[in-house]
Amino acid sequence: MIERLVLASGNAGKLREFRRLLTPLGIDVVAQDELGIAEADEPHVTFVENALAKARHASRHAGLPALADDSGVCVAALGGAPGVQSARYAGDPRSDARNNAKLVAALAGQTNRRAHYTCVLVLVRHADDPEPFIAQGYCHGRIVDVPRGSGGFGYDPHFEVDGTGMTGAELPLERKNAVSHRGHAMRELIAQLRMTQDGARAWQHG
C-alpha cells in the first residue's frame, strides 16, 4: 500500500494535478525539489525509458515510492519528432516560443499536419522495483501555423485537438483534462493502483 510518494518533477502545475488525483486514494504527494533532489538526466530515446529513469532517481534519493512522467508531441511528417526532445527542441535554455517557431518552420510546405501528444507515467514502489506501474496516454490532433488561445503551455497553442475545433490553449481546463494525453495516462494509472490496493485489502482480510 502506497501512502506517500515523491513526484519526479518540480513543475507546480503537475504537482497540483497529481495531488488532486491521488489524494482520494490516500496517497500524499511531495515534489522532489521540496526534498532537495535535482532533476535526473534524460538520455534515452523513448518516453518510457526516460520516465523510468526519473522515477528510479527520485525514489533512490528520497527513499520513497516515486512517480514520473515523460511526454511530448510527435509529428507524423517529421518521423515522430520532436518526440522525447519536445522540451528542448530548439536547444537550451528551454523556450516554448522558440520550440513552436522551429516546429512551424519544419512543417513549411507540408500538407500532412497530423500529430499526437504522448504521455508515459511510471510509478515505482522503490528504486529497484522490478514491476513498476506503467501507464500511457495519447491525444491526437494536428499542428496549425497560427497560435490560438492563451491557456496551456508547450505546443498547446499550435496543437488543434481532434473533435474539438480548438487548440489545447483554447480548451477549458475540465475539457482539456478529459481529452489530454496526461489525463488519459493518469486515469489508467489510477485504475491500476485501485486494482492493486483492492487486491491487497482482499488478501489481508482473507
Domain boundaries, the chain: 4-204
> Taking the complete model, does pTM exceed 0.85, yes or no?
yes
4-204, which class in CATH? alpha beta
Residue by residue, pLDDT tens for the chain (206 residues) are: 789 999 998 877 788 888 888 888 889 999 999 999 998 888 899 999 999 999 999 999 999 999 999 999 999 999 999 999 999 999 999 899 999 999 999 999 999 999 999 999 999 999 999 999 999 999 999 999 999 999 888 999 999 999 999 999 999 988 988 899 998 999 999 999 888 866 455 444 44
Which residue, 67, 63, 36, 35, is CA-closest to 54?
A: 67
Bond preceding residue 82 cis, omega within 30 of 0: yes
Yes or no: say if 72 and 117 are a contact pair by the CB < 8 Å rule: yes
Alpha helix segments (H runs only) across the chain: 12-22, 47-62, 96-106, 173-179, 181-204
Yes or no: say if 70 and 47 are a contact pair by the CB < 8 Å rule: yes
Yes or no: say if 6 and 58 are a contact pair by the CB < 8 Å rule: yes
Q: Which of 41, 69, 70, 129 is catalytic?
A: 70
Q: Is 70 an active-site residue? A: yes
Yes or no: say if 170 and 151 are a contact pair by the CB < 8 Å rule: yes
CA distance 160 to 197: 37
Cell of 98: 522558440
